[in-house]
Amino acid sequence: VQLQACGGGVVQPGGSLRLSCAASGRIFRINEMRWNRQGPGNQRELVASISSDGVTKYAASVKGRFTISRDSAQKTMDLQMNDLRPEDTGVYSCSADVLRPGYSPRAYWGQGTLVTVSS
């Protein structure tokens, strides 16, 4: 199972970016999917999550500015980020709880994509 995130870049404060994450491999079902980030000198934090039936949760710092969505059929997940702030700078990575045929569900992580918010 592989998770691949893309869409990062450099944006000015107040700008927007859309991140995407695609899962591939022999997958029976994907349960919860998550976006995480790690800013400079900070620990990794959970930014947003979405369950298999579409229930979303957000970190307080991004609520109202970020929107997480998924396409279960395509095994993809997006993060629309609006009104970006310098403190949103970091490496954004996606993770997912995946059920593979013949295996117990477990979390998989993808490599991150860098988001830089700077004027």
d(CA 74, CA 112): 20
* 74 pLDDT higher than 90: no
In the chain, % of residues over pLDDT 90: 95
72 has a pLDDT exceeding 90? no
- Those residues with Cβ within 8 angstroms of residue 106's Cβ, 6 or more apart along the chain or in another chain: 97, 98
Q: What is the pLDDT of residue 50?
A: 98
If pLDDT is split at 50, 70 and 90, which confidence band does 106 have? very high
pLDDT class for 22, splitting at 50, 70, 90? very high
